[in-house]
Amino acid sequence: MSKQSISTKPVKGMRDVFPADMRIRNWLFQHWRTVAKSFGFEEYDSAIVESEALYIRKAGDDITKELYTFEDKGGRKIALRPEMTPTLARMIMAKGGSLPLPARWFSIPQCFRYERMQKGRKREHFQWNMDIIGLSSVAAEVELMAAQYTFLKNVGFVVEGEKTEIGFKVSNRQIIETFLDSLGITGETFAEVCIVMDKRDKIGEAATIEQLSQRGLNSEQANAILNLLNIRGMDELRETVGEDNPGYRSLVELISLAEAMGIASVIEVDLSVIRGLSYYTGTVWELYDTSGSVPRAIAGGGRYDRLMESLGGKPTPMVGFGFGDVVITLLLQEKKKLPTNQTLVDDVIYPIQKEQFAIANRLAAQLRGQNRTVLVEYSERRFKHVIKLAEKVGAKRMLIIGESEAAKGVVRCKTIGGNQEEQPLSDFGL
Ligand code: HAM
């Protein structure tokens, strides 16, 4: 066989997950699952490959340009999913009218986007999704925000009082839609203009005006849009768009429900939150780190009441969020909130020579039957190496069997950092 030298690095933008990282990932997913279930959400999943057609959108948001695509052997145009939302809509459509609504579903899919690499952005990430299908009240948005809030609180972020570590920026696309409508900007141009508005912070005012003019807007319209993006807070908003604006009214209701839910401390109204996905129709929101150490959004969500229809399904109100694993793990690490020293095994069994392997295995089987996690150390190494290993895996106990123990029918039990005592093997059911 010819030899070749393979790079040890994963493909650019992808991550290897070594056991220490996997422990953290499992811990994070466990928190996500626990919170979602505590709100009565059911888990679903799908394959990571989808039909490319599912992501073709007229307004052309970035996600559709970052697709990993290929043709399968049957000539089908396939994409690695960049997000879960279109898959969710497809699955709901597949159920026809048989699914009782409202439905509350969550998932933790792996998503792929050929993005420019930067802090907090990879070409592959896992994304906690929670979506409510069939509820048009903003009570749904508030419930989803409460779930995000609960997760953040559970992992130790400060989310109360003045010094909240995570903020929720909330806006509403209907405000923008009504406002743009009054400027004569409607239909497909509206979705395209939203995508340009979303980039304002990245590209600056001059480039925003230029891109708006490429979409047929005059300078008066462009300036009115830039003014709208600078609005912060409800008073300024009411003065600019008027209190009859349906998006404004919906935000008022959202804030009042958020107060009742006890999560209003993290929520602020910020019209510069547009979101880069063209399917949103109502509330949009993003979570950010108030210290600014990771500039990318921690999570993002919104209402997308017309997506099902645009895919050929029945009009169905839908709202949800995606919460990636990359930024939150970076933040948890920076703020020293990641778990340390997790126990991996309860017992380390140490047969001193291979003659005691069989009895060690029988003892291990017995203990595993009692739901204990057990590692048998077969290396025949000296005691000091084995004790180091036991400490590393957080074992509570070592069970040592040498020639003399086996002859006597006992095992030497040593609690980590404590005493040793002999115990008959019969105590363990052997
Ligand atoms: P999104 O804003 O594109 O929304 O992504 C949601 C979250 O996924 C981001 O805030 C971030 O945490 C994470 N994320 C996205 N791209 C990357 C990347 N390249 N590297 C690391 N993390 C990333 C959506 O995907 C919507 N489908 C969410 C949604 C669900 N809306 C309604 N339901």
- How many angstroms does the Cα of residue 109 sit away from the middle of ligand 1? 11
- How many angstroms does the Cα of residue 127 sit away from the middle of ligand 1? 7
- Tell me which DSSP letter residue 52 carries: G
* Residue showing tokens 């919104």: 302
Q: Which two tokens stand for residue 416?
A: 């980590």
Q: Is 300's C-beta closer than 6 angstroms to any atom of ligand 1?
A: yes
Q: Which two tokens stand for residue 313?
A: 């399904």
- One DSSP character per residue, 193-209 reads HHHHHHTHHHHHHHHHH
299 CA closest ligand 1 atom index: 10
pLDDT recorded at residue 1: 66
- How many angstroms does the Cα of residue 338 sit away from the middle of ligand 1? 22
Q: Hey, is 132 helix, strand or coil?
A: strand
Q: Is 282's C-beta closer than 6 angstroms to any atom of ligand 1?
A: no
- How many angstroms does the Cα of residue 172 sit away from the middle of ligand 1? 18
* Cα–Cα distance for residue pair 355/42, rounded to 1 Å: 50
What is the full per-residue pLDDT of the chain (430 aa) written as tens digits? 678 889 999 999 999 999 999 999 999 999 999 999 999 999 999 999 999 999 988 777 888 889 999 999 999 999 999 999 999 999 999 998 899 999 999 999 999 999 998 889 999 999 999 999 999 999 999 999 999 999 999 999 999 988 899 999 999 999 988 888 988 888 888 888 888 888 898 899 999 999 999 988 999 999 999 988 888 889 989 998 889 999 999 999 999 999 999 999 999 999 889 888 889 999 999 999 999 888 889 999 999 999 999 999 999 999 999 999 999 999 999 999 999 867 789 999 999 999 999 999 999 999 999 999 999 999 999 999 999 999 989 999 999 999 999 999 999 999 987 889 999 999 999 9
Q: Which amino acid is at 220?
A: E
Q: Which of 92, 127, 89, 87 is nearest to 107 (CA)?
A: 127
* Cα–Cα distance for residue pair 316/306, rounded to 1 Å: 7
* Cα–Cα distance for residue pair 133/130, rounded to 1 Å: 10
Q: Hey, is 141 helix, strand or coil?
A: helix
Residue partners of 365: CB distance under 8 A and separation at least 6: none
Q: Are strands 410-415 and 420-424 parallel, antiparallel or unpaired?
A: antiparallel
Angle at 123 between CA 48 and CA 208, to 5 degrees: 115
Q: Is 278's C-beta closer than 6 angstroms to any atom of ligand 1?
A: no
What phi-psi label fits residue 3: left (phi over 0), alpha (psi between -120 and 50 degrees) or beta?
Answer: beta
Most distant pair of Cα atoms in the chain: their distance: 94
Task: For a ligand 1 pocket test, name from 46, 66, 80, 83 the mutation site with the most ligand atoms within 8 angstroms of its C-beta.
Answer: 83
* Cα–Cα distance for residue pair 39/25, rounded to 1 Å: 22
pLDDT recorded at residue 421: 94
Summarize the chain as % helix, strand, coil (round to 5): 40, 20, 40
Helices (H), 127-199: 139-154, 173-182, 187-198
Q: List the beta strands (DSSP E) in 230-317.
A: 267-269, 283-289, 299-303
Q: Hey, is 429 helix, strand or coil?
A: coil
Reported pTM: 0.93
